[in-house]
């Protein structure tokens, strides 16, 4: 009995300790601002591998999600004879919810896991410690560019996702199912507000990008430096990122749209 | 990959993001770059505003001429007092015009329609509509019909 309680205590201490280490780690990364001359090329390289290389999966998923929304929306709305509201439905769903959330989930799977594995392997092969030996701060040289790259790339990807999704929805709704194009865009424009919908979606994607990148680099930096440790850290990155994104999404939605 | 190529590709990536944001702003949310238009405020008292909400539209002959600013309760008369900001270029609304709450479509949102009067004088900043017509309440209509009143 006492053993059980002790193990419960131990695991809670571990969780709290891990949260504390993650926060300390974040503070260390943010405090060590790289010099623009050396930091910028590193950042560009990371934006390329985190952002540009994720573009393909984001564009393809966005297209299909938009098309599915168009089809599903059409079947439901045509029951009420209001197919024209399909533009409004697609745009609001994508801009407010699916754009930021699905992009963040894809981002965690595509870029987050790669970041964790890369940093974890650097730790396992003692590249990070040798950097410290040479007097190079690994937080500044390795971690900071990756964190900032995720922070920058994620909103861009989410915006592209929403646009491609709306285009896919238009493809199905207007070109295929024959909704009148004018009312498709008109309904959309009259119901989507720039500040309330587009900017709030943008803020969501910024938050998700930050959280995903943070979890990914922290898990890599904190992993057990063995092959099993790297694999479990990679799994943890994807699981924690997804849960954090979905949980935060609820909180952000309640704050942004919940003022009934 | 050479540093230069990477930089160029990332530059294009950022531009694509900016274009996407611009598209969302201009085409999807219909935000036009014009500055906030000058407006003046008119008031109207209603017995029942139904589902009227702030930021809803105020129209005249189907053309949007302003937005609803606020809806509050007048504690003296127990009526709803609606403040509307009307575009400044629509400055010749006859002073005996009526503010009518209408519904767009059967289930659509409610808006204020100004039905034009014939007076030579027009409403100015801070004036109140003399005649108003409250929201049509379907439930009340049915119950009135059923009870034969």
CA–CA gap between residue B61 and residue A220 (Å, rounded): 63
More confident residue, A44 or B107: A44
Residue A161 confidence (pLDDT): 94
Rounded to a whole number, what is the distance in Å from the CA of B26 to chain A's nearest CA?
Answer: 9
Residue B31 confidence (pLDDT): 66
- Cβ <8 Å between B21 and A197: no
Q: Taking CB atoms and an 8 Å cutoff, what residues of chain B touch A52?
A: 9-10, 13
* Band of residue A259 on the pLDDT scale cut at 50, 70, 90: low
Q: What percent of chain A has pLDDT over 70?
A: 98
Domain boundaries, position B21:
1-33
Residue B63 lies in a domain: yes
CA–CA gap between residue A121 and residue A115 (Å, rounded): 10
Residue A89 lies in a domain: yes
- Cβ <8 Å between B16 and A160: yes
Same domain, B97 and B82: yes
DSSP lists the bridge partners of residue B80 as: B46, B73
How many structural domains does chain B have? Answer: 2
Residue B1 confidence (pLDDT): 60
Residue B106 confidence (pLDDT): 66
Q: Taking CB atoms and an 8 Å cutoff, what residues of chain A touch B30?
A: 188-190, 192
Residue B138 confidence (pLDDT): 74
- Cβ <8 Å between B29 and A192: yes
Q: Taking CB atoms and an 8 Å cutoff, what residues of chain A touch B105?
A: 82
How many structural domains does chain A have? Answer: 1
* Band of residue A29 on the pLDDT scale cut at 50, 70, 90: confident
pLDDT by 10-residue block (mean), chain B, 149 residues: 80 88 79 68 87 80 85 88 88 87 74 86 85 78 80
Q: What percent of chain A has pLDDT over 90?
A: 42
Residue A75 lies in a domain: yes
Same domain, B133 and B110: yes
Same domain, B124 and B70: yes
Same domain, B43 and B111: yes
Once rounded to an integer, what is the mean pLDDT over residues A113-125? 92
Residue B87 lies in a domain: yes
Same domain, B12 and B85: no
Residue A4 lies in a domain: no
Residue A43 confidence (pLDDT): 86
Residue A95 lies in a domain: yes
| pLDDT one-digit tens code per residue, A52-68 | 999 999 999 999 999 99
Residue B148 lies in a domain: no
More confident residue, A53 or A187: A53
Same domain, B68 and B138: yes
Residue B128 lies in a domain: yes
Domain boundaries, position A160:
34-255
Complex ipTM over 0.90: no
Same domain, B29 and B50: no
Same domain, B97 and B25: no
Same domain, B22 and B80: no
Residue A204 lies in a domain: yes
- Cβ <8 Å between B9 and A194: no
Buried b (16+ CB within 10 A) or exposed e, B118-128: eeeeebeeebe
Residue A9 lies in a domain: no
Q: Is the pTM of this model over 0.80?
A: no
Query: Quick one: closest CA in B to A164, which residue?
Result: B20
Residue B137 lies in a domain: yes
Same domain, B63 and B8: no
- For residue A228, pLDDT over 80 is answered with yes
Residue A39 lies in a domain: yes
Q: Is A210 helix (H, G, I), strand (E, B) or coil?
A: helix
Q: Among candidates B132, B130, B105, B117, which has minimal Cα distance to B46?
A: B132
For A95-140, where are the E strands, in sequence order?
none
Residue A18 lies in a domain: no
């Amino acid at each position: 009995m006492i053993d059980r309680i002790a193990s419960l205590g131990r695991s809670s201490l571990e969780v709290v300790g891990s949260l504390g280490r993650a926060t300390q780690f974040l503070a260390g990364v943010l405090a060590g601002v790289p010099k623009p001359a050396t930091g910028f090329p590193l950042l560009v390289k990371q934006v390329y591998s985190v952002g540009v290389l994720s573009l393909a999966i984001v564009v393809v998923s966005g297209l299909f999600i938009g098309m599915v929304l168009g089809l599903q929306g059409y079947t439901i709305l045509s029951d009420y004879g209001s197919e024209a509201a399909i533009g409004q439905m697609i745009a609001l769903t994508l801009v407010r919810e699916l754009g930021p959330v699905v992009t963040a989930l894809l981002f965690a799977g595509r870029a987050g896991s790669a970041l964790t594995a890369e940093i974890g392997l650097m730790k396992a092969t003692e590249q990070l410690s040798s950097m410290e030996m040479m007097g190079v701060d690994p937080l500044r040289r390795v971690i900071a560019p990756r964190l900032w790259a995720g922070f920058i790339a994620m909103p861009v990807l989410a915006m592209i996702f929403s646009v491609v999704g709306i285009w896919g929805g238009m493809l199905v709704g207007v070109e295929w199912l024959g909704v009148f194009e004018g009312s498709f865009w008109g309904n959309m424009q009259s119901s989507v507000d720039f500040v309330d919908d587009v900017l709030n979606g943008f803020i969501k994607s910024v938050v998700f990008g930050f959280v995903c990148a943070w979890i990914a680099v922290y898990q890599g930096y904190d992993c057990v430096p063995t092959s099993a440790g790297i694999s479990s850290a990679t799994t943890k990155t994807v699981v924690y990122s997804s849960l954090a994104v979905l949980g935060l999404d609820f909180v952000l939605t309640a704050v942004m749209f919940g003022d009934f | 990959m050479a540093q230069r190529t990477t930089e160029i590709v990332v530059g294009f990536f950022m531009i694509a993001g900016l274009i996407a944001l611009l598209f969302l702003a201009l085409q999807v949310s219909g935000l036009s770059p014009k500055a906030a238009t000058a407006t003046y405020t008119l008031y109207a008292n209603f017995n029942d505003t139904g589902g009227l909400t702030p930021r809803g539209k105020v129209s005249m002959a189907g053309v949007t001429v302003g937005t609803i600013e606020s809806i509050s309760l007048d504690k003296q008369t127990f009526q709803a007092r609606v403040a509307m900001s009307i575009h400044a270029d629509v400055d010749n609304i006859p002073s005996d015009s009526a503010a009518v709450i209408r519904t767009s479509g059967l289930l659509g949102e409610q808006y204020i329609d100004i039905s034009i009067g014939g007076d030579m004088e027009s409403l100015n900043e801070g004036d109140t509509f003399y005649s108003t017509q409250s929201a049509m309440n379907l439930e009340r209509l049915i119950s009135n019909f059923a009870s034969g009143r």
